[in-house]
């Protein structure tokens, strides 16, 4: 589904941040990516998304056999990729719900589907806002405008729920969430998840993985995946940190 092979990428000054990432994500799988600050986790999401600040030095990223790296950013999204960034952008003046409707209809047009009617969109939006226990007043807000960290994260998952992507890369979606919001957001992600879809979760904490059971856990450090395992790896990391991995090598 999403196939990342030997992906290398650098920033403007030539410093290489991703030093050969390999990751195979299949339908129905949840991949947790953990690792110390500054490892390249967010960079990986941005390179996959097509952020212009990064230069791809080598390797490949394919979604359902199509080369993502050759696509425009909107094509990547319309093809079924969803990225929730670590620090969601505020877009004052752009209404949250209108923005979502445009994004969804742009995707539908790309896929050759008819535009969704206002009525159907309203229903869809209500259903997903209920799922995420979001207040009606979010309809009136600008995209992430003035929202707290936790509210932005919840709003990101609303976007995901409405756009219905094949592969979602969620960067520290759990950070800034209080205990109730964490449960609600995690339930929302589980609800959206299906055997045809896949999720990549970047997280520092086991607590999210108590709700969303990962198929695989990977440790990213210094721009490389240095260890992969099952859910038990996250428990070991929480207990022992990351240093034992280098020492064990």
Where on the chain is the footprint of ligand ADP (CB under 6 A)? 11, 17, 35, 37-43, 53
CB of 126 to Mg ion, least distance (A): 18
Residue closer to Mg ion by CB (options 17, 96) is 17
Residue closer to Mg ion by CB (options 22, 86) is 86
CB of 227 to ligand ADP, least distance (A): 15
CB of 208 to Mg ion, least distance (A): 15
Which listed option, ligand ADP, Mg ion, none, makes contact with residue 230 (CB within 5 to 8 Å by class)?
none
Which listed option, Mg ion, ligand ADP, none, makes contact with residue 11 (CB within 5 to 8 Å by class)?
ligand ADP
CB of 63 to Mg ion, least distance (A): 20
* Pick from 247, 206, 235, 223: nearest CA to 42: 223
Phi and psi angles of residue 117, each rounded to the nearest 5 degrees, phi first: -70, 160
Residue closer to ligand ADP by CB (options 51, 122) is 51
Question: Of residues 56-95, which lie at the interface with Mg ion (CB under 5 A)?
Answer: 86
Residue closer to Mg ion by CB (options 40, 50) is 40
DSSP letters, 117-134, are PHHHHHHHHHHHHHHTT-
Q: Does 194 bind Mg ion (CB under 5 A)?
A: yes
DSSP letters, 68-127, are GGGS-HHHHHHTTEEEE-SSPPPEEEEEHHHHHHHHHHHHHHHTTPPPPPHHHHHHHHHH
DSSP letters, 183-217, are HHHHHHHHHH--TT-EEEEE-S-HHHHHHS--SEE
CB of 85 to ligand ADP, least distance (A): 10
Which listed option, ligand ADP, Mg ion, none, makes contact with residue 111 (CB within 5 to 8 Å by class)?
none
CB of 31 to Mg ion, least distance (A): 16
Residue closer to Mg ion by CB (options 67, 194) is 194
Residue closer to Mg ion by CB (options 62, 164) is 164
Strand ranges across the sheet with 224-229: 81-84, 167-171, 198-202, 30-34, 216-221, 224-229
Q: Does 187 bind Mg ion (CB under 5 A)?
A: no
Which listed option, ligand ADP, Mg ion, none, makes contact with residue 85 (CB within 5 to 8 Å by class)?
none
CA distance 190 to 21: 26
Collapse the DSSP code of 44 into the 3-class scheme (helix H, G, I; strand E, B; otherwise coil) and give the result: helix
């Amino acid at each position: 589904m999403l196939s990342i092979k030997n992906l290398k990428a650098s920033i403007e000054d030539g410093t290489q941040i991703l030093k050969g990432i390999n990751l195979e994500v299949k339908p129905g799988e949840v991949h947790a990516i953990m690792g110390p600050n500054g490892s390249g986790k967010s960079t990986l999401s941005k390179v996959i998304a097509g952020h212009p600040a990064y230069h791809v030095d080598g390797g490949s990223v394919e979604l359902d056999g199509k080369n993502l790296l050759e696509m425009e950013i909107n094509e990547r999204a319309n093809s079924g990729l969803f990225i929730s960034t670590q620090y969601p952008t505020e877009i004052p003046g752009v209404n949250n719900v209108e923005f979502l409707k445009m994004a969804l209809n742009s995707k539908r047009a790309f896929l050759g589907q008819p535009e969704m009617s206002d009525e159907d969109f309203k229903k869809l939006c209500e259903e997903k806002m209920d799922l995420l226990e979001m207040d009606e007043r979010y309809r009136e807000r600008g995209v992430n405008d003035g929202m707290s960290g936790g509210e932005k994260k919840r709003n990101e998952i609303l976007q995901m729920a409405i756009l219905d992507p094949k592969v979602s890369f969620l960067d520290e979606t759990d950070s800034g969430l209080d205990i109730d919001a964490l449960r609600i957001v995690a339930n929302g992600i589980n609800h959206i998840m299906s055997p045809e879809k896949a999720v990549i979760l970047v997280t520092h904490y086991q607590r999210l993985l108590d709700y969303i059971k990962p198929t695989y856990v990977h440790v990213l450090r210094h721009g490389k995946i240095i260890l992969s395992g099952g859910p038990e790896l996250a428990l070991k990391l929480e207990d022992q940190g990351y240093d034992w991995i280098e020492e064990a090598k």
